[in-house]
Amino acid sequence: MPNIVVVGSQWGDEGKGKVTDLLAPHVDAVVRYQGGNNAGHTVVVGREKFVLHSIPSGILHPGLRCVIGCGVVVDPAALIEEMEALVRRGIVLDGNLYVSRNAHLIMPYHRALDLASEAKLGDRRIGTTGKGVGPAYVDKAARVGIRMADLLDEPVFREKLAANLRQKNRLLSEIYDAQTFTVEEILGPYLRYAGWLAPYITDTELLLNRWINAGRSVLFEGAQGTMLDIDHGTYPYITSSSTTAGGAATGTGVPPTKIHGVLGVSKAYATRVGGGPFPTELQGKMAELLRARGNEYGATTGRPRRCGWFDTVVGRYAVRVNGLDTIALTKLDVLDKCETVKIGVGYRYRGELLTEFPQEERVWNEAEPVWEEMSGWQTSTAGLRDYADLPTKARQYLDRLAELVGMEFCLVSTGAVRDDTILLADSPLTRWFPSLRGSIPPR
Ligand code: IMP
């Protein structure tokens, strides 16, 4: 049974939640491997909309095992809130949700440091989600982080908390002029969270390997996207984790040799939240059109997303750094009303044509996108489920994107609900999951 990574090929918000939800019935487990509750994975089931932040999107499928891997940073209060909201809507968590004992905790001082450091950066702020994700990873790398297992061991937790606060309080008061914390005000709530979460905390690295060795199939659900990766993204305008496919191994304890393929998810255009380079970004009316039609507002923060045309340089980069086998293209219907559609095919920098994504801020600031323009199809593709029903111009657009990115699409999404999806007949996706064939009912 295949173990497949689902990874964002752009700046996040590509529709990984929908793709994961679509594949979930065909696997035995879904695991998140990085990031935290900065993610917002939206899944529409019938008339119900779910936004998941820390819990894998597979949780909406009864009996599917969902794992929060060791590479994730967990805000226990936010996780419990998310769990309670799911339980209220009839989702069963007991026996289905597992949290790695090695996952690091997001602490209240991480959130305070996130907000304070952003405020101090001024114009150079990253535009973080303010959830404390970056500072939690800082502590992990500095070897002073507190892990889930520590939360279950009161004396150890108290000692680590006190040691952290001695340093964090000085940072907060002396550098940032921000509010400090006492051990007691954090200890009380966190011990309550420990009681709540204890039944779910376990050695997920061992469990996942056992499942895989028993022939079960695991889906690795990436959060954010390639261009936000700590190593391969637009540093420093990134998130603090390994969002690319390589993170799936380190963030779960499943060795790379047990992973069989990587599925990239891209929108039919591009969006970005927060600061940093976005060469194909649009301003004005066209940006507003995409934002309104694509409902491009952050699922976690509600912030309007920056919108632009599809950038095939980014697409090719994502193919390379993730080793993509195939791409799921989402939100094609958002482009239905465009008179023309543009595709970013390179950048012009001081007279030179760049066809690889530049890494230098100086180049980002000056480079101009090089466009190809096609006429739009101006017919509704919303809800189409058959490739043959797509207007010719939409098919030409898809063919040109695939040609420029150098990778075929395995599915095209034409709406938010699970079944509004065109599955391409023969692709790595249907070879990995043959049961997908015929799983989407005709309209
Ligand atoms: P952080 O992850 O909260 O530290 O934010 C760092 C950068 O990543 C900011 O530009 C955020 O807007 C962006 N970011 C974090 N999570 C997501 C996401 O789930 N989707 C899109 N952008 C994200």
Task: List the domains of the chain with CATH numbers.
Answer: 4-90+204-439 (3.90.170.10), 104-200 (1.10.300.10)
Residues 6+ apart with CB under 8 A from 386: 422, 442
Return the closest-CA partner of residue 51 out of 25, 85, 10: 85
The burial of 156, by beta-carbon neighbours within 10 Å (0-12 exposed, 13-18 middle, 19 or more buried), is given as middle
Is there an atom of ligand 1 within 6 Å of 13 CB? yes
Atom of ligand 1 at shortest distance to CA of 276?
10
d(CA 386, CA 154) in angstroms, rounded, equals: 57
CA–centroid distance, 296 to ligand 1, in Å, is: 14
CA–centroid distance, 226 to ligand 1, in Å, is: 12
Residue whose CA is at the smallest distance from ligand 1 atom 11:
128
Instruction: Place 200 in a pLDDT band, splitting at 50, 70 and 90.
Output: very high
Is there an atom of ligand 1 within 6 Å of 132 CB? no
Return the closest-CA partner of residue 387 out of 405, 371, 372, 402: 402
372 pLDDT higher than 90: yes
301 pLDDT higher than 90: no
Atom of ligand 1 at shortest distance to CA of 41?
19
Mean local confidence (pLDDT), 192-198: 98
- E strands along 229-385, which residues? 261-267, 270-272, 306-308, 310-311, 326-330, 340-349, 352-354, 368-375
| Side chain identity, residue 354 | L
24-46 residue pLDDT tens: 999 999 999 999 999 988 888 88
Q: What is the DSSP letter of 41?
A: E
Mean local confidence (pLDDT), 179-185: 97
- Quick check: 408 and 424 in contact, CB under 8 A? yes
State the average pLDDT for the chain: 96
75-118 residue pLDDT tens: 999 999 999 999 999 999 999 999 999 999 999 999 999 999 99
d(CA 66, CA 95) in angstroms, rounded, equals: 9
Predicted pLDDT of residue 41:
86
Residue whose CA is at the smallest distance from ligand 1 atom 2:
239
pTM of the full predicted structure?
0.97
Sign of CA dihedral 19, 21, 23, 24: positive
The full length of the chain comes to 443
Helical segments of 5-125, H only: 16-23, 76-88, 108-121
230 pLDDT higher than 90: yes
CA–centroid distance, 201 to ligand 1, in Å, is: 26
Catalytic residues: 13, 41
d(CA 97, CA 103) in angstroms, rounded, equals: 14
Buried b (16+ CB within 10 A) or exposed e, 395-425: eebbebbbebbebbbbbbbbbbbbebbbbbe
Mean local confidence (pLDDT), 412-435: 94
Residues 6+ apart with CB under 8 A from 187: 157, 158, 161
Predicted pLDDT of residue 182:
98
Point out which residues pair with 348 in neighbouring strands.
353, 368
Return the closest-CA partner of residue 274 out of 241, 303, 299: 303
DSSP-derived 3-state class of residue 370? strand
Buried b (16+ CB within 10 A) or exposed e, 111-141: bbbbbbbbeeeeeeebbbbebbbbbbbbbbe
Is there an atom of ligand 1 within 6 Å of 423 CB? no
Mean local confidence (pLDDT), 355-371: 95
Is there an atom of ligand 1 within 6 Å of 135 CB? no
Predicted pLDDT of residue 52:
93
